């Protein structure tokens, strides 16, 4: 079983998608560490520090790390835009999930 930080009951997570990923990540081998709702700081255009969050950072001492951005509902990519599908309707996502995960990955990598 992976080391979970924080080590909380999966049932306590409100977001369905995050709860499912948390429960699945817990089953990774013991040499993995899973950071849930990991907070990190980045500088904005003015040089001020802005707090951001990565849904999951999964770390392995030999393989490195991966950042996972979780969306609660079905999502898709069409004509250069990300969409979230809820109740049969497509809504444009305000944030690009790939850019979110990539930005978090590079910010964390730069810090360490």
User: pLDDT tens for residues 7-57?
Assistant: 999 999 999 999 999 999 999 999 999 999 999 988 778 878 888 999 999
Q: What is the pLDDT of residue 45?
A: 81
- Name the β-bridge partners of 76: 83
Q: Which residue has the tokens 């969409």?
A: 83
Q: In 79-94, which positions are buried (b, 16+ CB within 10 angstroms) versus exposed (e)?
A: eeebbbeeeeeeeebe
User: pLDDT tens for residues 49-102?
Assistant: 888 999 999 999 999 999 999 988 889 999 999 999 988 898 999 889 999 999
């Amino acid at each position: 079983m992976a080391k979970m930080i924080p080590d909380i009951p999966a049932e306590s997570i409100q977001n369905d998608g995050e709860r499912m990923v948390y429960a699945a990540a817990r089953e990774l081998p013991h040499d993995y560490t899973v950071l849930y709702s990991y907070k990190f700081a980045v500088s904005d255009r003015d040089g001020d520090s802005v707090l951001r969050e990565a849904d999951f950072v999964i770390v392995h001492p030999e393989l490195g790390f991966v950042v996972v951005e979780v969306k609660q509902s079905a999502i898709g990519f069409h004509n250069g835009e990300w969409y979230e599908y809820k109740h049969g309707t497509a809504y444009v996502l305000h944030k690009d999930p790939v850019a979110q995960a990539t930005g978090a990955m590079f910010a964390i990598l730069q810090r360490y």
